[in-house]
Structure 1
Amino acid sequence: MKDFKLNRLIISTLALGCAWGFTSCSNDEPSPIPGIVTTESMFGNYTGSLSILSVAPGISALTDESGEPEGTTATATIDNDTIYFKDFPIKDLVMAVVGDETTADQIVAAVGPVNYNVGYEPALTPAQDSIYFDMKPEPLQLTLTLPAAAEGEEAASMNIQVNIVGAEGASYEVATSALNFQLGADEVSLGTGEDLQPLPGFNPLTLNFEMNKSKE
């Protein structure tokens, strides 16, 4: 009987030791491996700046005290291979067209918030440290309501169409969550209805975006 009790004690002790050993081993396991990087890794909300890199001769772009292009705050959301701008910053673009900040402010206020979406095709680098993407932008459409010429007349609307092209080299850096891309505005057309005419003397310009993904 004593031998039986002793055997049970030994078995219980061994079982306890094994359980402790398994627990200790599980605590020593390495941390879970981070998720695999895919082109969906760039999905998220972004904040950054937009600056105009080139403007028409004779027209001053918005610059800071050092003479560098003054960035305008820009926000965007990336999802389903599309860049969504809920309030596309058009002031610098309008400023480059009209050449007068007061007039540009009036036009921006009259147009109101502008929603603009840019589709893209992503490609992950072999090292999985960056995502390069080709943008497929559509023309940017703006509508400006003009005051009535005389009392009692209806206000007229002017349509503004900016032809947008995507520049090469658009990228997202996985380690820093930095997003950099450029959009080119190569033509502006004005008119009413579907009758749009190219704006004479417009010089193409480049819109440079430098943004970072917000932490969840």
Structure 2
Amino acid sequence: MKKFINLKALSLLVILFAIPFVVTSCRNDDNDNKPNPGVLKVEDVNGNYTGKAGVSKGTVNAETNVSFTAQKNVISFSEFPIKEIIYSVINDATKADQAIAKLGKVKYDLNYVAALSKDKKAVELTFSPKELIIQVPVDGVNKKVAVTFVSLKKGIFTKAKTQNLNFELEANKITVEGTAINPFEDIRYNLPMQKK
């Protein structure tokens, strides 16, 4: 019986000595010097983004793959989706597709100013869209096409498990050689993008 009590006391003593080491070990695991993913900075917007843009004109809706880079208050599209723009300029679908093929990749830069939201859980982007100027081949002649964009609302950048930037643009006027297309249906771009 005495050996059993000594064994019990020894086991209890070992357990009591082990507890501080276990607690200290677990406490150190929580102190990694990783940045807090919930703390946002305006600079977090900078980076490369990809996603599917929803493009709508009247009752016609489409999706297209889009990518861009956000850097120093400019979103730079290396290939802006222009199909609906060209279809607004050229009514013949075959000729419009030929013009799109000849144009290739059309670049567009979108200026913005970024600021933290009041609750500091998002970065809000206020856009200053400029005209997109394209030389579009129409019946063998290049014509100057100017597309006027407006920002429908502020862009929102959030950071949780993924980093997302959502914004909308609208092409509300297109001119060909200075003459506005009339009638014209606005072209809306809904861009829910994810940072790579």
TM-score under structure 2 length normalisation: 0.76
SS of the aligned residue for 1:212 comes to strand
1:91-114 Cα deviation digits (max 9, x unpaired): 133235545543332121122211
Q: C-alpha root-mean-square deviation of aligned residues, in Å? A: 2.4
| Alignment correspondent of 1:164 | 149
1:11-69 Cα deviation digits (max 9, x unpaired): xxxxxxxxxxxxx79955611141652111011001112222342xxxx63xxxxxxx3
Unpaired segments of 5 or more residues in structure 1? 1-23, 62-68, 149-155
| Alignment correspondent of 2:69 | 77
Distance of 1:124 and 1:108 partners within structure 2? 39
Task: Among all aligned residue pairs of Structure 1 and Structure 2, give the percentage whose two residues are the same amino acid.
Answer: 28
| Alignment correspondent of 2:105 | 113
Q: 1:71 to 1:100 in 2, by over 3 A?
A: farther
| Alignment correspondent of 2:179 | 197
Distance of 2:132 and 2:120 partners within structure 1? 33
Query: How far has the Cα of 1:129 moved from its partner?
Result: 2.1
Distance of 1:210 and 1:93 partners within structure 2? 20
Alignment of 1:1-216 (within 5 A): 30-34=31-35, 36-55=39-58, 61=60, 69-98=61-90, 101-146=93-138, 156-175=141-160, 176-191=162-177, 196-214=178-196
Q: 1:164 to 1:83 in 2, by over 3 A?
A: same
Distance of 1:28 and 1:136 partners within structure 2? 46
Distance of 1:40 and 1:100 partners within structure 2? 45
Unpaired segments of 5 or more residues in structure 2? 1-24
1:165-195 Cα deviation digits (max 9, x unpaired): 111131111113111111111111002xxxx
Q: 1:83 to 1:37 in 2, by over 3 A?
A: same
SS of the aligned residue for 1:104 comes to helix
Higher strand share: 2
Contact 2:89 2:181 in 1 (8 A): no
1:123-179 Cα deviation digits (max 9, x unpaired): 11243321111110100111023565xxxxxxx321100111111131111113111
One-letter identity of the residue aligned with 1:91: K
